[in-house]
């Protein structure tokens, strides 16, 4: 059996300076890069295989939905034997086998479609290319980089028998909860263990990571490998300005109020907490992210940085006749295009965040209208997953915001009739809708996003990305593509954080922070007494930070030392770095990680999991 030797990583670390390396570099040969042990958790997170018997480690918050569904968040879970490991229905993991550059082939397909007068976009190209490269036993995916400047086919081995092995209680794994999210310092045991099975037996994996029993240290080189979701570093200042001024303010304001309503009910009623824990977690994570992103993009002058690049681009375009013919009006077109959609997009966001996302019963009502099965059965199933008291309050708030902010010309006749009947008595209006599910469903669908004026900026965005790519290529700049849930590698080092003047944050946290914050009266800080008792015997790092370049989807990514050994798991970013999806700011960009020694301590002293420790060589 092979353990992780990581030859390419060793070379990379020899030639790349030990600093924050801007870039999530595309991995096209996972075997050469030592990445066969790294898995995608259905492209919402990352995990890694840490034993020859398919033991898989990822973040607790990547497993959050599974644990909530099994009602294991509060208690945690530990399978004492492999027979006790819980299969998760529908759970899949993907392991990249290889990627092929098919750019020339795609260009030929485009030319052929153009000659035949056939309109095409990304979906059409994906369907054609994925059909061409169908491979028995593998899933293929068409991946476009730099808005179609380069194209690849990715081949994945998919495993659909994934079983839960161990997860700490949420009070330990997510200590600090919503309050500490996106913060540094943190003290979370953010890990969960699964096992991959194949043909009913544990996967016999020739590729698995070796655990670094000594952990990490200040200044150590680190590599993060994972499946980051989406970045927008090739976006224009016009797109960025549109997000800041049109979309984010509405989303963050409405999301903050929904969180207040949910938190109040969850704190008051354990059953409400059980029903809404996973939803609140998702809302909280997104809400804090976008609020922080809004603040950081303004603080870091991201729009001004992009404007500076556009001045360079304008000069580069003007310096070539062919470039002028292709992109001469691009920047002016972008300015006009985003100005034209501003009002309609603001109304779309308002509609989406109130009537569609404003309650958790709304998706059920929308499914009722198109369900092939019995609508009453669909509604009953959805109703069992919510609390009417909570939903009515969420609905009343959504109605108040919708009717206050929506342009009159988009308010439907049923909606106008409700306003005439109830005025601004939102609670009474919500109660009336709740009592008549069919009328409620009709109310939601009377206005749809497609009713708003449409202006497609996608072609302009693609043209801009392509132009920037070509400019950098002409200057000999080795560029990385925006993240798009494909396998990426980033390098960095363990380092402290200086978030602002006169404030210095160490590179690691200790159990002392847990004892300082522990509070049995606050759910997010209420640590089990038996855990606190054993924690007194641990004096190593709990969490640590690096300057690796990561984003959403990297959750659970292995953090490796210079020997390719596992020293921790990436689980968060810091709030000062939340503009990095749009523009990398190395001074404050940090990757927050759980240290492997803390994980091993919990396995040994809290769970006495000697079999698991032996399995991973610890």
- Is the distance from CB of 259 to CB of 285 less than 8 angstroms? no
User: What's the pLDDT at 446?
Assistant: 83
- Higher-pLDDT residue of 21, 183: 183
pLDDT for position 448: 60
pLDDT score at 177? 93
Alpha-carbon distance of 58 to 569, in angstroms, equals 7
DSSP states of 559-586 as a string? EE-TTS-EEEEEEEE-GGGTTTTTS--T
Percent of the chain's residues with pLDDT above 90: 83
Q: Which residues on neighbouring strands pair with residue 197, listed in sequence order?
A: 161, 202
Q: Which pLDDT score, from 0 to 100, does residue 1 have? A: 35
| pLDDT at site 449 | 54
How high is the pLDDT of residue 155? 97
3-state secondary structure of 496: coil
Q: 593-618 burial, b if ≥16 CB within 10 A, otherwise e?
A: bbbbbbbbbbbbebeebeebeebbeb
pLDDT of 371 higher than 70: no
Percentage of the chain lying above the pLDDT 70 cut: 95
For the stretch 274-302, pLDDT in tens is 999 999 999 988 888 888 888 899 899 99
Average pLDDT, the chain: 92
pLDDT band at 327 (very low <50, low <70, confident <90, very high): very high
Q: In three state form, how does the secondary structure of 226-247 look?
A: ECCCECCCCCCHHHHHHHHHHH
Tens digit of each residue's pLDDT (9 = 90 or more) over 534-544:
999 999 999 99
pLDDT of residue 7: 43
CB-based contacts of 262-268 (< 8 A; 24+ apart in sequence): 262/390, 262/394, 263/178, 265/387, 265/389, 265/390, 265/393, 266/523, 267/523
pLDDT in tens, 11-28: 344 334 334 468 999 999
State yes or no: pLDDT of 208 exceeds 90: yes
Region 468-492: what's the mean pLDDT? 94
pLDDT for 369: 78
The string of pLDDT tens digits covering residues 556-603 is: 999 999 999 999 999 999 999 999 999 999 999 999 999 999 999 999
Average pLDDT, stretch 40-60? 97
User: Among 283, 218, 298, 210, which Cα is nearest to 251's?
Assistant: 283
Residue with structure tokens 């779309």?
348
What average pLDDT does this structure show over 341-361? 93
Question: What pLDDT, on a 0 to 100 scale, did the predictor assign at position 255?
Answer: 93
Which pLDDT belongs to residue 21? 67
Segment 302-324 shows an average pLDDT of 95
Dihedral angle sign, alpha carbons of residues 123, 128, 133, 138: positive
* Overall average pLDDT of the 161-174 stretch: 98
pLDDT value of residue 374: 85
Report the DSSP beta bridge partners of residue 546: 494, 591
Alpha helices in 98-209 (DSSP H): 103-115, 122-132, 170-173, 177-180
Question: What number is the average pLDDT over the span 486-497?
Answer: 97
Write down all domains in the chain, each with its CATH number in brackets: 7-92+160-232+482-615 (2.40.10.120)
Q: Is the pLDDT reported for residue 186 higher than 50?
A: yes
Task: State the average pLDDT over residues 491-510.
Answer: 96
Each residue of 237-280: pLDDT tens digit? 999 999 999 988 899 999 999 999 999 999 999 999 999 999 99
Please write the tens of the pLDDT for every residue from 355-365. Answer: 999 999 999 99
């Amino acid at each position: 059996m092979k353990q992780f030797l990581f030859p390419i990583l060793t070379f990379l670390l020899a030639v790349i300076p030990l600093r924050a390396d801007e870039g999530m570099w595309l991995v096209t040969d996972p075997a050469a890069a030592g990445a066969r042990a790294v898995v995608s958790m259905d492209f919402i997170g990352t995990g890694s295989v840490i034993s020859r018997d398919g033991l898989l480690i990822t973040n607790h918050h990547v497993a959050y939905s599974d644990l909530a569904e099994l009602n294991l968040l509060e208690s945690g879970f530990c399978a004492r034997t492999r027979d006790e490991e819980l299969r998760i229905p529908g759970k899949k993991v993907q392991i990249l086998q290889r990627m092929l550059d098919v750019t020339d082939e795609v260009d030929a397909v485009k030319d052929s479609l153009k000659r035949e007068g056939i309109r095409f976009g990304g979906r059409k190209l994906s369907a054609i290319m994925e059909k061409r490269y169908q491979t028995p036993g593998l899933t293929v995916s068409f991946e476009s980089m730099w808005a179609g400047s380069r194209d690849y086919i990715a081949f994945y081995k998919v495993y659909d028998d994934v079983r839960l092995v161990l997860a700490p209680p949420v009070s330990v794994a997510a200590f600090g909860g919503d309050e500490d999210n996106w913060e540094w310092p943190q003290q979370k045991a953010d890990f969960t263990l699964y096992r991959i099975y194949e043909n009913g037996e544990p996967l016999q994996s020739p590729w698995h990571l070796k655990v670094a029993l000594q952990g990490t240290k200040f200044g150590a080189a680190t590599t993060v490998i994972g499946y980051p979701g989406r970045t927008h570093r090739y976006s224009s200042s016009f797109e960025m300005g549109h997000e800041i001024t049109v979309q984010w303010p509405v989303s963050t304001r409405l999301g903050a109020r929904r969180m207040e309503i949910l938190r109040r009910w969850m704190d008051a009623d354990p059953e409400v907490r059980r029903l809404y824990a996973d939803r609140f977690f998702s809302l909280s994570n997104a809400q804090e992210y976008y609020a922080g992103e809004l603040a950081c993009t303004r603080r870091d002058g991201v729009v001004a940085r992009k404007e500076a690049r556009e001045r360079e681009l304008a000069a580069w375009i003007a310096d070539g006749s062919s470039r002028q013919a292709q992109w001469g009006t691009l920047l002016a077109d972008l300015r006009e295009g985003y100005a034209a959609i501003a009002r309609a997009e603001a109304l779309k966001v308002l509609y989406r965040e109130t009537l569609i996302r404003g309650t958790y019963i709304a998706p059920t009502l929308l499914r009722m209208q198109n369900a092939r099965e019995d609508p009453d059965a669909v509604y009953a199933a959805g109703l069992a997953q919510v609390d009417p008291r909570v939903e009515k309050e969420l609905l009343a708030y959504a109605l108040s915001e919708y009717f206050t902010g929506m342009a009159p010309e988009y308010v439907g006749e049923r909606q106008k009739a409700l306003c005439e009947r109830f005025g601004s008595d939102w609670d009474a209006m919500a109660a009336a809708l709740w009592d008549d599910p069919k009328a409620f469903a009709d109310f939601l669908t009377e206005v749809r996003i497609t009713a708003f004026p449409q202006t497609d900026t996608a072609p302009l965005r693609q043209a801009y990305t392509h132009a920037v790519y070509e400019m950098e290529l002409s200057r000999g700049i080795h560029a990385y593509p925006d993240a798009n849930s494909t396998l990426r590698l980033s390098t960095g080092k363990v380092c402290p954080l200086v978030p602002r003047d006169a404030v210095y944050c160490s590179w690691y946290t200790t159990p002392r922070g847990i004892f300082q914050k522990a509070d049995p009266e606050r759910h997010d800080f209420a640590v089990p007494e038996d855990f606190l008792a054993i924690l007194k015997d641990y004096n190593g790092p709990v969490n640590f930070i690096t300057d690796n370049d990561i984003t959403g989807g990297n959750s659970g990514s292995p953090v490796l030392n210079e020997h390719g050994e596992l020293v921790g798991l990436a689980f968060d970013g810091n709030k000062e770095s939340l503009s990095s999806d749009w523009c990398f700011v190395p001074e404050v960009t940090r990757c927050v990680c759980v240290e492997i020694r803390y994980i091993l301590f919990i396995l040994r002293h809290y769970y006495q999991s000697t079999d698991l420790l032996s399995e991973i060589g610890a």
